[in-house]
Amino acid sequence: MPTDKRGKSEILVQGIAASHGIAYGQAFLYIQSDVEVPAYQVEPDKNSEEIARFEQAILVTRQQIQKIMSEVDKNLGSEEARIFDAHLLVLEDQALISETIREFEASGKNVETCFNKVSQRYIKAFSEIDDEYLRERSGDIRDVAQRVLQNLLGHSSQSLSQLVEKRVVVANDISPSDAAGIDSSQALAIVTDSGSKTSHAVIVARSMKVPAVVGVRDLTRQVQPGDWILVDGYEGVVILNPSQQTLFRYGQIQLQKKGFEQRLMEANRRPAVTLDGVTVTLRANIEKADETALVKEYLAEGVGLFRTEFLYLNAGEIPSEQAQYLAYKEVAEALAPASVVIRTLDLGGDKPMAGHAHLFPREDNPFLGYRAIRFCLDNPAIFKDQLRAILRASAHGEIQLMYPMISGREELARANAVLAECKEELKARKIAFNPKLQVGTMIEIPSAAVTADLLAKDCDFFSIGTNDLIQYLLAVDRVNDRIAHLYEPTHPAVLRMLKFVIDSAHRQKIKVSVCGEMAGDAIYAPLLLGLGADELSMTPPLIPAVKYLVRSMKLSDAQALAEKALALTSAKEILALCDEFSRMRVKLT
Ligand code: PEP
Ligand code: MG
């Protein structure tokens, strides 16, 4: 077994790559533990004093969070500071406060005990929600609750402010307030036992541009403060006590990656034209109106997918027509003359709307249930508000509209009939909109794909949602870890279906975009282009790698690749072929 120069054994731990980069340094161990809460009965004549003590702790906590917020705003920027909006909202949650007081009145126990009981209930409820983003919010409640308890008990709060030398932060968990306390000039990398790609530690690590690996389970139990540790934020690997050979190997990798990233960014300034002179359109997927800055930074040609459901999820309520109109208009104006494809609401499935059980009742199979266009057609008032907002915004830029989860021609006709009603309403009210607004269909349900020849006659463009198309075609839940190995984008069934959809569209002379994750993956992008996709749309930071590859290949070679792949019979063989195609063209050194 290899050892480091002090004779300690090298230990390799696989986690989740959360922020790119490689770092090596000594560990700064940070263990966050829950506050011990003493329980006792309060004398009945002290009741009002006890409630006042609770209210005072809430007030002090609010002031502390506001102070952290302004520090983060100063050090990291307003986007990161907004993480703490969620914390302030927890403190403003009347249910949490009044339930604590009710618990106190009923039990007569000290407010720490009552508040702890109520907040634990909230944390549990959030942590069981079937949505990664909302699940992560249980961390916000936990963070705020710990602060309130510390203030009630008169403890000073823990922080990472003792980090005064350059170190790799190794923690069991990092709350947003912990993260805010990190001196960005001293953190070489961040590693956490828990967490996922959307955790706050990750958001902060990315904004500090330091490597991060999360989900390393019990690494904090194996690390001693001062141990030497190597963090590979590309592959999600952490190596404790790395040997000289490992350090040498990573030194080489780091040089290659740096050189490669530089080349990617340089290439990104040039047009996306293949070696045989074909221009490829690379567009952005966005989820919020303020992501237009990212679209411009990565030089995307407009937006190929605006996932509007995040307007609803972030607001925590159904936004009004006016609020949506302003958001869509802002995006269209910021990116004009480039076009913006606005997808109508795709709530449900893995994106339920918390606190709206009357609209989204619990379902046994949410991915096969009340989702996207099904929900919209069943709730015409909500759907029409969105359609009118999109139509009105279309007067201010190059907007296109598309429907998610269309299963066939009749459903598309029903959606279009609602759109026609909205147009009539706006006309009657003399409100401007683009009468030639292009309307597309997402192809992400196998029944739509198989009837693509029919659908192509009724719409202006297709956008293939490979994330869902693969899930439904292969019957593999896209968010279930246990069957993730069965989720195979190169399954021959997927290839045949993509080819049929693309050919059907081209026969009707309409364009096809691919906006699922496959489009932003350098392994699959050539295959999609070879199959005939006209546009690829992806999260903006993935554009440089795909553009680099586009500029290093001939479209005719990609077409030959697709033809060869279509003749193969196994997903693994096709994957190997695609992998080889990309690797031969993009050398990392
Ligand atoms: C898809 O299904 O590929 C897609 C782009 O939509 P979403 O990931 O939002 O379901
Ligand atoms: Mg989808």
Supply the pTM of this predicted model: 0.67
Picking from 50, 55, 226, 36, the residue whose alpha carbon sits closest to that of residue 150 is 36
| Residue keyed to tokens 């590309």 | 234
342 closest CA partner among 310, 303, 311: 303
515 given a catalytic annotation: yes
Q: Which residues line ligand 1 (CB under 6 A)?
A: 305, 307, 346, 444, 465-468, 515-516
Q: Give the three-class secondary structure for 441.
A: strand
Q: Are 241 and 11 in contact (CB under 8 A)?
A: yes
Which of ligand 1's atoms lies nearest the C-alpha of 444? 2
Return the ligand number nearest the Cα of 347: 1
The verdict on whether 200 is a catalytic residue reads yes
For the domain spanning 44-153, the CATH number is 1.10.274.10
Of ligand 1's listed atoms, the one at least distance from the Cα of 463 is: 5
Nearest ligand to the C-alpha atom of residue 306: 1
Closest atom of ligand 1 to 346 CA is: 9
Q: Which of 87, 200, 396, 491 is catalytic?
A: 200
Question: Same fold for the domain at 11-32+159-257 and the one at 44-153?
Answer: no
Ligand 2 centre to CA of 570 (Å) is 25
Q: Residue-wise pLDDT tens for the chain (589 aa)?
A: 677 777 788 999 998 888 888 999 999 988 877 778 888 999 988 898 999 899 888 988 888 788 777 766 766 667 777 777 888 888 888 888 889 999 999 999 999 999 999 998 888 888 888 777 777 778 788 888 888 888 888 765 556 767 778 999 998 887 766 766 677 788 999 998 886 655 556 666 766 778 999 888 888 888 988 899 999 999 999 999 999 999 999 988 888 888 888 888 888 999 999 999 999 999 999 988 888 998 999 999 999 999 998 888 777 789 999 999 999 999 999 999 999 999 999 988 767 776 677 888 888 888 899 999 999 999 999 999 999 999 999 999 999 999 999 999 999 999 999 999 999 999 999 999 999 999 999 999 999 999 999 999 999 999 999 999 999 999 998 766 567 788 899 999 999 999 999 999 999 999 999 999 899 988 999 999 999 999 999 988 889 989 999 999 999 999 999 999 999 999 999 999 999 999 898 763 3
CATH number given to 11-32+159-257:
3.50.30.10
**Which member of 376, 422, 515, 578 is catalytic?**
515
Question: CA-CA distance, 509 to 464, in Å (whole number)?
Answer: 16
How far apart are the CA of 470 and the centre of ligand 2, in A?
A: 10
Which class for 40: exposed (0-12), middle (13-18), buried (19 or more C-beta within 10 A)?
A: exposed
Ligand 1 atom nearest the C-alpha of 464 is 3
Domain boundaries, the chain: 11-32+159-257, 44-153, 274-553
Mapped onto helix, strand or coil, the DSSP state of residue 13 is strand
Can you name the CATH fold of 274-553?
TIM Barrel (3.20.20)
Which of 444, 513, 537 is the best mutation target for the ligand 1 pocket, counting ligand atoms within 8 Å of the beta carbon and taking the most?
Answer: 444
Name residues whose C-beta falls within 8 Å of residue 438's C-beta, 6 or more positions apart in sequence. 400, 401, 460, 461
Rg of the chain over Cα atoms, rounded to whole angstroms, equals 26
Which ligand has an atom closest to residue 287 CA?
A: 1
3-state secondary structure of 273: strand
3-state secondary structure of 349: coil
Contact 133, 43 (CB under 8 A): no
